[in-house]
Structure 1
Amino acid sequence: MAKFLNTSATNYYLEELIKGASERLILISPFLKLNDRIKELLEDKDRLKIDVRIVYGKSELQPEEINWLKELSFVRTSFCKNLHAKCYLNEDSCIITSLNLYEFSQVNNNEMGIYVSRDADSEVYKDAYEEAQRIIRISDEVRISLEKITEPTSSADETQHDDVEHTKLTTSKLAKSLGLKTNELLDKLLTAGYLQLVDERHFLTDDGKSVGGEFKYSKRFGPYFLWPKDVLDHA
Structure 2
Amino acid sequence: MLHLVFVEAALEAVPPGIIGHPSVRRNAKRRKKPPGETLLNRSLHHPVMDRIPDGHKRGRPDITNICLLEALGSPLNREGRLSTWIHTFGGYSIKISPEARLPYDCNRFNSLVEQLFVHGKVPPGDEEPLMKLAKQGLENLKSDISPTLTVALTSHGVPSDLEDVASRLASEEVPAVFIGAFPHGSMAKETLALADEAFSIYPESLQAWVVTSRLIYGYEKASGKTD
Verify same fold: TM over 0.5: no
Return the structure number with greater strand share: 1
Higher relative contact order (CA 8 A, sep 6+): 2
TM-score (norm 1): 0.30
